[in-house]
Amino acid sequence: MSHYFDDRHRQQIETLRQRFTARTEWPTWLLLIGVYAGWFAVVLGSEWLGRGWSTLLMIPLLVLWLSVQHELLHGHPTRWTTFNKILGYAPLAVWYPYTLYRDSHLQHHRDEHLTIPGVDPESRYLSAARWQGSSLFERSLHWLNKTVFGRFLLGAPLALLALAAEELQRLKNGERQAWLMWLSHGALTLLMLGFIARYSVLPVWHYLLLISVPALSIAMIRSYYEHRPHAQPEQRTVLNEAGWPWRWLFLNLNFHLVHHDLPALAWYDLPQAYFARREQWQARSGGFVVQGYGQLWRRYGFRPIDSPRHPFH
């Protein structure tokens, strides 16, 4: 973005990075400790809270944990990759091993490949060949997944099925890294589920199906319209001016173009970086601006936002 923003703006970004908050990363440390403490508090206090309140408290905790893991893989709160991996390896949200999420997400940050099926690992679009080979039922599912309601209902199951198919193939191929990753993740997940079964009133099936899957479904709302196909890579990424509850759960990733342009900028600095040059950011995005997740729901709750088929791949 060096050709687009002036020296003063670059200096503003550098000032953010040099502040005491950014140098110490105390908000991320506090958040990390808070999520772990909150998780143990809900599990150990579930008998007093009851199954209903435990569920209602645990779901946003897991959504927040997924957002915290995202910060860790981008170099917060430390610059040591292995240490951040240790901090974020706990399988609280169950389904995605930290290293798998980290590696695929960093690949997703190659902006010239954004939305391209088969290249961008987080693309929600199908290539022409894949679309042609899809059955009517599969196409209907993809169309439904292009509505907000469908994304909430089907986003997590479809993503988990795709994950299972891809990773089982890697295991069948005997990929050593895949075996090591899934064995370590599986062992820690079993330990965690054993802890839940022993010290809480939450059945394991309840945690898996009624807590972790809904948490993943809520996280899917964030990615519902983060990217769109466009000839210019910088105009493929959204600026969503969401309200504070969503911004907190998603750690300001709604300002997604800012994050893609400045991936090393911590979550707590994204709003200031955006609002300091709001008009320039919006111009850079080509007007790809959404006024909160409520606007998406009102307009596209039951209507597809675009086609599942990628328009120019």
Q: Is 147 helix (H, G, I), strand (E, B) or coil?
A: coil
Which H/E stretch holds residue 240? strand 239-240
How much is the pLDDT for 266? 95
Q: How far is CA 62 from CA 23, 106, 214, in A?
A: 27, 21, 9
pLDDT tens track of the chain, all 313 residues? 445 677 787 788 888 888 899 899 999 999 999 999 999 999 999 999 999 999 999 999 999 999 999 999 999 999 999 999 999 999 999 999 999 999 999 999 999 999 999 899 999 999 999 999 999 999 999 999 999 999 999 999 999 999 999 999 999 999 999 999 999 999 999 999 999 999 999 999 999 999 999 999 999 999 999 999 999 999 999 999 999 999 999 999 999 999 999 999 999 999 999 999 999 999 999 999 999 999 999 999 999 999 999 998 6
pLDDT of residue 6: 72
Q: How many CA atoms lie within 13 A of 191 on its CB side?
A: 8
Neighbours of 210 (CB within 10 A): 16
Q: What is the pLDDT of residue 4?
A: 62
* Whole-model pTM over 0.95: no
In 3D space, the residue among 74, 18, 4 whose CA is nearest the CA of residue 277 turns out to be 4
What pLDDT, on a 0 to 100 scale, did the predictor assign at position 7?
75
- Residue 226: the pLDDT is 95
Q: How far apart are CA 235 and CA 140, in angstroms?
A: 28
Identify which of 153, 294, 300, 149 has the alpha carbon closest to the alpha carbon of residue 217: 153
Tell me, what's the pLDDT at 2?
A: 46
